[in-house]
Chains A and B, each alone.
Chain A
Amino acid sequence: DAGITQSPRHKVTETGTPVTLRCHQTENHRYMYWYRQDPGHGLRLIHYSYGVKDTDKGEVSDGYSVSRSKTEDFLLTLESATSSQTSVYFCATESGTGFKNTEAFFGQGTRLTVV
């Protein structure tokens, strides 16, 4: 299994507070992703990174920002948490070594509740 660690695994926070979720990988994969999983919506891409300091928006990026200062770490920040951001967040990585090797490896997820 790819070494992907998400922290924290569970968090309850209040509306309006900033929250940062961390994804750490030990695989030296080039690409990293943040998804949110909600019932009936599958996994929706929030932001992704294709290298250190190179990031781009996904389909549900409003209210979220990301940073990647090192290959191994990809941070997701909720600037001011809202109840609509209550979800399970998954980090994923991809080696980027070639299209035939395309495969995303997932972390265990972070369950975030905004009250």
Chain B
Amino acid sequence: AQSVTQLGSHVSVSEGALVLLRCNYSSSVPPYLFWYVQYPNQGLQLLLKYTSAATLVKGINGFEAEFKKSETSFHLTKPSAHMSDAAEYFCAVSTGSSASKIIFGSGTRLSIRP
């Protein structure tokens, strides 16, 4: 069975500062990993995904994440935070099996200080 742990339910950074949201996974098979973003009163939108190609994955809005198998991590980063990045971010894992199930972490709320 697979699972995801997101460290920190709330992260606050200043505008222009580095954003780092942490995600660790557990999977008995090579995983597919995702980051989703949820803006207030909306559904979830895919930021980026890792599907066993390049370990450094670039997504939308300047975000990227690096798959580190040795650390079972898939942390999300952005060099310079914008006010528009304030949202909730979810890490997710899937085995990519025929009955594909995507399992989500508990989420990290990102706040941006002016």
Contacts and interface: CB of A to CB of B under 8 A. Distances in A.
Interface size class of B (residues with CB under 8 A): 20 to 34
Contacts of A107: 43
A50 B42 CA distance: 25
A33 interface: yes
B51 A102 contact: yes
B109 to A, nearest CB: 10
Query: Counting chain B CB atoms within 10 Å of each CB, which of A56, A99, A107 scores highest?
Result: A99
Query: Counting chain B CB atoms within 10 Å of each CB, which of A40, A90, A100 scores highest?
Result: A100
Interface in B18-75: 32, 34, 36, 41-46, 49, 51
Contacts of B102: 33, 45, 92, 94, 102, 104
Contacts of A40: 9, 106
Given A44-B104, A102-B102, A107-B43, 5 more contacts: A41-B106, A94-B100, A99-B96, A102-B49, A102-B96
Interface of B: 6, 9, 32, 34, 36, 41-46, 49, 51, 90, 92, 94, 96, 98-107
